[in-house]
Every structure is written in C-alpha cells, then in structure tokens.
Amino acid sequence: MKKSKKKKKSNIWKIKQHRDPFFKKSKTLGYRSRASFKLIELNNKFKFIKKNTRLLDLGSYPGGWSQVASKIVTNGKILSIDIKPMTPIKNVKFLRCDIFDLETKKKISEYFGGNLDVIISDMAADTTGNKSLDSIRTNQLCAEVLNFSSKKLNSKGVLVSKLFMGEDFIEVKKLAKSIFKNVNFFKPEASRTESKETYIHCYILNSL
C-alpha cells in the first residue's frame, strides 16, 4: 500500500475510534482496550468466569480481557500469554511467548498442574489487508486453540474464542462439535457491526 493511502486509512481509523462509545468507555473506566467490553458481555451471557476459576488468556496484549478476568477471579489463577510484551496486571501471571511453541505448552501444564477450567482466546493473526486471508488465518488459530483445549482443559471446562464468519467457519464449527458437547456462537455489541468477528463458546468435552 502507498504511504499516503496508508496514512489516510490510519486517520479515518483514528476518527472512527474516537467516536466509538466503547473506546470512550474504556478510557473512562481505565481498560486498556475496548475489547474488555466483549469479554464482559460474553461472561454476562455464559457466566464462565467465577471467583475461583483457573483461567488461561491467549493473545492477551494489551490486557483488556486480563483486566476484566482479574477483577472477578479473586481465589483462582490467571495466566496470560502473548507474543507482545504486556504491562503487569495484579493477580495475573504473564508469559511473553508463542502459544504454539512446545515450551509454552509445557509451561501452561506446569502452571495449572493439569487443572484448567477456562481458556479465553482473542488471538488474531496479523492483518495483511486481504480480509478473506486474515479471516482464514485467524480461524486457523481458533482451530488450533480448539485442539489444544481438548488436551488441556478439565472435562467440564469452557473455551471462548474469537473467530470470523468466513468461508471456513463451518469447518471450525464441525471441529468444535467433535470436541465439545455444547457449542454456541455470540457476537457482543462491542464487536464492530461491520466486522465478521464473532465468538464461539464451548463447554464439556465429548470424552466425558
């Protein structure tokens, strides 16, 4: 993309952001991202984060979801992971690493000692400018998180993950149904209407 076109796009994005009610609310309430409100809505609907929850937050930077979880979880454990560095949050352990590295998976098992109740993933692949490709790459991340959850979660565990209503959506839904007994979809109001983003909520592994 040419420099001038890129700059114009970034200015339009900034104007949109400042008019956005969730962006304004996040600044007032001290949340690091407007994404916080997506997790608040998801948890109001499905009620999966409780005070004693042992929770893994994938793709946590800048920390909006971890901030929300840390306010609810007072007697559990929170581990947050991102490839980008994240400023510390009270009661949240952060690891800067790639979730798909073998070493990261080992560290997760060690931290939770095989007792993990909830995985939340807002992971998104870096944008390329090609919406269809971006959607496929983020849905691949979601599929990998689904497979990962089947090995790491308690049998009655919950997974909430971002995905896109793209061409491979049905494939991801099929995969989710092969792993979990219950699969729901929910698009929070804080998720932009023009975005194909939605969230999958899965609970109770089929092996139970």
Ligand X SMILES: C[S@@+](CC[C@H](N)C(=O)[O-])C[C@H]1O[C@@H](n2cnc3c(N)ncnc32)[C@H](O)[C@@H]1O
User: Where in the sequence numbering do the catalytic residues fall?
Assistant: 162
State in Å, rounded, how far the first CA of the chain is from the last one. 50
Residue 119 within binding range of ligand X, rule CB under 6 A: no
84 near ligand X (CB under 6 A): yes
Q: Determine the interface stretch with ligand X among 75-83, 110-118, 178-186, 189-197 (rule: CB under 6 A).
A: 75-83
Minimum distance between the CB of residue 35 and ligand X, rounded to whole angstroms? 3
Closest CB 181 distance from ligand X, rounded Å: 26
Q: Tell me the C-alpha distance between 108 and 80, whole Å.
A: 10
**Cβ-proximal residues to 71 (8 Å cutoff; 6+ apart), any chain:** none
Cα dist. 154→77, 114, 145, 201 in Å? 14, 8, 15, 15
Q: Which stretch binds ligand X (CB under 6 A): 8-16, 69-77, 97-105, 195-203?
A: 97-105
Does position 59 interact with ligand X (CB under 6 A)? The reply is: yes
Q: Distance of alpha carbon 163 from its chain centroid, rounded?
A: 9
Binding site for ligand X (CB under 6 A): 32-33, 35-36, 59-65, 81-84, 98-100, 122-124
